[in-house]
Amino acid sequence: MKLFVNEKALLMLVVVVAALPNVSAPNAAPAANVVAIRNVTVLPGNGAPPVTDATVIVRDDRIAAIGPAAETAIPAGARVIDGRDKFLVPGFIEMHAHLSKARASALGLFIANGVTTVRDMGGDHEELLRWRQEIRAGNRVGPRMLIAGPYLEAARNIERMRRDPPEKRIEPFERTRIAVGSPAEARRIVAELASRELDFLKIRTVQDRPTYLALNEAANAHGIPLVGHVSGIPPEVVLEAGQDGIEHSFYPSLDGKTREERLAVWRKFADRRVAIVPTLVALFEATFPATDRLRAIAGDDEGKIEPRRAYVSKYLVLDWREQVEEATDQRRQTLRKIWDDVIRRDLREMHEAGIDVLAGSDVSVLNIYPGFSIHDELALFVSELGMTPAEALERATLRSARFLRIADSVGSIERGKIADLVLLDADPLQDIRNTKRIAAVVLRGTVYDAQAITKLLDSVRTAPDRRADDWGRKASK
Ligand SMILES: [Zn+2]
C-alpha cells in the first residue's frame, strides 16, 4: 500500500500528534496512591545523616512518613518496593536547560533519569507555559518546570540574526529572544515580562553597561529574579547591579588580584545568596572533544557511537549540526586555556567562599543529553572542583531548591514534602557516579520502576519530534 501525503498535511499530522497528551502513565497509579519503600537507606539531603533500614511511606503526591523499618507500619493496599541494599535520594534538579530546543519528548528523559525539576533558561515561553500546564494537569509526563522569559539580548545580536537566511539559522529566534537596546527599553520589557507567569528573567547578551544596570534595577523593582550570562561584565559590576544568579562563568575575571582579594569578592556574592551554574559538562562534552567526534555524534541517528543520541529530537540534531560548524580548533584551545588558568580556579574559590555552585548541564548544547548529562555534571563537581559527593548531591537537590524558592516542598526527603525521589542501586556518597544507577523514580508520588522507565525511554525514542522538526524556522507556520 502506498500513501500519498503532501508535506503540509504530514506536518499538520505531526503537530496534532505532538499536541496529544503524552500519557505513557507507568503502571498507572490508583486514585488512593500509597507507596511504601522499605528497608532502604535514606539520604535525606537536608544535612541530617543517612537513615539505614528505613521505610518511607508516600501517600498521593506527598511523603507521609519516614521511620525505622521495624516500627513503621505499611498501610494495607500500599504498593511495596523493596529498598534493601538501595539508597533513596531526593529527585534531582537541572538548573540549566533549553527545553524548546530539546522539544517535548525530552521531558520524559528527565523523569527516566531521576530529574524531577528543571529550570528552563530561555526558550519559546508561550509553548513552555503550555507544557507546564499540561504536566500540572496530569496530561503530560514531565518534571516541575521553572521558566525564564525569552532570552534578553543585545539589540545588535538580534539584528545580526535577522540578517541570516533560514538555512543559516534554524532557530525561530523571534519566539525565543527579545532585543534590549537601551535603558528605556530595558524598563519597558522587564515591566511587560514581569506581568507574565515567568519565574525569572535571563540575560544572554547586553547592549552596554547602562542597559545592563537598567535591567537589574527594573527586575529588582518588580521583584523578579534576574539571572544569566556575565561575559564581559566584571564581577564587581555584577555584584553592584544586584543580579541574582550567574550562568557559566566570569570572563574576564578578577585577574591581577591576590587569592585573598578574590575570595573577599566571592564572599560578598555568597552573602547576597547569588548562585552560579557553571555548566561544566558543556565545556567537557561540547567544547573540548575533537570536532570529528562531535560531527560523528551529530550524525549518529541510531545511537551507535553514543547510545544517548538515539533520544535526541530532530530539531535539536539540526541545531547540533550548526554547533559542530562553529566548533573550531582555535576555539577549543582558547577555552581549554581559560578553563585551566582561570575558570577552574575561580569556581573552586567560589565554592570555598560559600557561593552555591549549582548543577546545570545546558541542555540543547551539542552532545549534552536531557536528563542524562546532569549526572556527568555532578561527577565533574567532584573530580574538577574538589567537592565531596555529598556536597555535589546537595547542590543538585536542596541548594537548588532553595535558590529557586521551592525548598518548602522539594529538595530533600522530609515528611510533608512532595514525593520526588530517586532509588539508587548503589551509594552515591561512595561514588557520585552511582547517581546514574537508577532502580526507580518517584515523581509526585507516581512510581516509575525499571520497566516503566524502559517504557518511557521507548516512548521518547519513537516520539513524533524525533522524526520531524516540529519547531525550527522551516517547520514554523
Ligand atoms: Zn544556556
Segment 311-361, tens digit of pLDDT? 999 999 999 999 999 989 999 999 999 999 999 999 999 999 999 999 999
User: Ligand 1 centroid vs 229 CA: distance in angstroms?
Assistant: 9
6 or 415: which carries more pLDDT confidence? 415
Query: Which of 17-21, 251-255, 434-438, 448-452 is predicted with the least confidence, judged by mean pLDDT?
Result: 17-21
| Cα–Cα–Cα angle for 163, 165, 169, rounded to 5 degrees | 95
pLDDT at 107: 98
Going 312 to 316 to 322 to 323, the CA torsion angle's sign is negative
For the CA atoms of 135, 141, 143, 149, the dihedral, rounded to the nearest 10 degrees, stands at: -50
| Cα–Cα–Cα angle for 237, 240, 242, rounded to 5 degrees | 110
Confidence category of residue 168, pLDDT binned at 50, 70, 90: confident
Secondary structure of 244-297 as H, E, C letters: CEEECCCCCCCCCCCHHHHHHHHHHHHHCCCEEECCHHHHHHHHCCCHHHHHHH
pLDDT at 27: 53
Confidence category of residue 163, pLDDT binned at 50, 70, 90: very high
User: Ligand 1 centroid vs 182 CA: distance in angstroms?
Assistant: 23
User: Ligand 1 centroid vs 406 CA: distance in angstroms?
Assistant: 21
Q: Measure CA 266 to chain center.
A: 24
Task: List the domains of the chain with CATH numbers.
Answer: 92-410 (3.20.20.140)
User: Ligand 1 centroid vs 156 CA: distance in angstroms?
Assistant: 19
Cβ–Cβ under 8 Å, residues 103 and 315: yes
Q: Measure CA 382 to chain center.
A: 19
Residue by residue, DSSP assigns 193-205 as: HHTSS-SEEEE--
Q: Measure CA 138 to chain center.
A: 21
Strands 177-180 and 144-154: parallel
Cβ–Cβ under 8 Å, residues 186 and 224: no
pLDDT at 253: 85
Q: Provide, rounded to the nearest whole percent, the portion of the chain with pLDDT above 70.
A: 93
Taking CA atoms, 188 is separated from 153, 181, 215, 224, in Å, by 14, 11, 10, 14
User: Ligand 1 centroid vs 122 CA: distance in angstroms?
Assistant: 7
Q: What mean pLDDT do residues 406-412 have?
A: 98
User: Ligand 1 centroid vs 225 CA: distance in angstroms?
Assistant: 17
Q: What mean pLDDT do residues 230-238 have?
A: 90
User: Ligand 1 centroid vs 97 CA: distance in angstroms?
Assistant: 6
Confidence category of residue 29, pLDDT binned at 50, 70, 90: very low
| Cα–Cα–Cα angle for 232, 238, 239, rounded to 5 degrees | 150
**How far apart, in whole angstroms, are the C-alpha atoms of residue 180 and residue 314?**
31
User: Ligand 1 centroid vs 59 CA: distance in angstroms?
Assistant: 36
Q: What mean pLDDT do residues 442-456 have?
A: 98
Residue 227, classed as helix, strand or coil, is strand
Structure-block grid coordinates of residue 120: 528552563
Structure-block grid coordinates of residue 379: 561527577
Q: Measure CA 370 to chain center.
A: 8
User: Ligand 1 centroid vs 153 CA: distance in angstroms?
Assistant: 13
User: Ligand 1 centroid vs 31 CA: distance in angstroms?
Assistant: 39
> What does pTM read for this prediction?
0.92
| Cα–Cα–Cα angle for 290, 233, 342, rounded to 5 degrees | 45
Average pLDDT of the chain to the nearest whole number: 92
DSSP-assigned beta bridge partners for residue 81:
37
Structure-block grid coordinates of residue 301: 541517528
User: Ligand 1 centroid vs 466 CA: distance in angstroms?
Assistant: 21
The residues, ordered by sequence, that sit 6+ positions from 201 with a Cβ below 8 Å of its Cβ are: 148, 149, 152, 190, 193, 194, 215, 219, 224, 225, 226, 227, 228
For residue 11, is pLDDT > 60?
no
pLDDT at 134: 98
User: Ligand 1 centroid vs 449 CA: distance in angstroms?
Assistant: 31
pLDDT at 68: 97
| pLDDT tens-place string over residues 44-97 | 999 899 999 999 999 999 999 999 999 999 999 999 999 999 999 999 999 999
User: Ligand 1 centroid vs 93 CA: distance in angstroms?
Assistant: 15
91, amino acid identity: G
Q: In a 10 Å sphere around its CB, with 0-12 CB exposed, 13-18 middle and 19+ buried, how is residue 390 labelled?
A: middle
**How far apart, in whole angstroms, are the C-alpha atoms of residue 324 and residue 117?**
29
473 or 110: which carries more pLDDT confidence? 110
What helix, strand, coil percent values describe the chain, rounded to 5?
A: 40, 20, 40
**How far apart, in whole angstroms, are the C-alpha atoms of residue 420 and residue 400?**
14
User: Ligand 1 centroid vs 61 CA: distance in angstroms?
Assistant: 31
Nearest Cα neighbor of 228 from 202, 189, 194 is: 202
Confidence category of residue 475, pLDDT binned at 50, 70, 90: confident
User: Ligand 1 centroid vs 60 CA: distance in angstroms?
Assistant: 34
User: Ligand 1 centroid vs 362 CA: distance in angstroms?
Assistant: 5
pLDDT at 476: 55
| pLDDT tens-place string over residues 240-295 | 999 999 999 988 888 889 999 999 999 999 999 999 999 999 999 999 999 999 99
pLDDT at 251: 82
Strands 446-448 and 226-228: unpaired
**How far apart, in whole angstroms, are the C-alpha atoms of residue 152 and residue 258?**
34
Strands 421-424 and 275-277: unpaired
pLDDT at 40: 98
Run of H or E residues at 241: helix 235-241
User: Ligand 1 centroid vs 447 CA: distance in angstroms?
Assistant: 30
| pLDDT tens-place string over residues 352-390 | 999 999 999 999 999 999 999 999 999 999 999 999 999
pLDDT at 9: 41
For residue 1, is pLDDT > 50?
no
pLDDT at 26: 52
User: Ligand 1 centroid vs 98 CA: distance in angstroms?
Assistant: 6
**How far apart, in whole angstroms, are the C-alpha atoms of residue 322 and residue 170?**
8
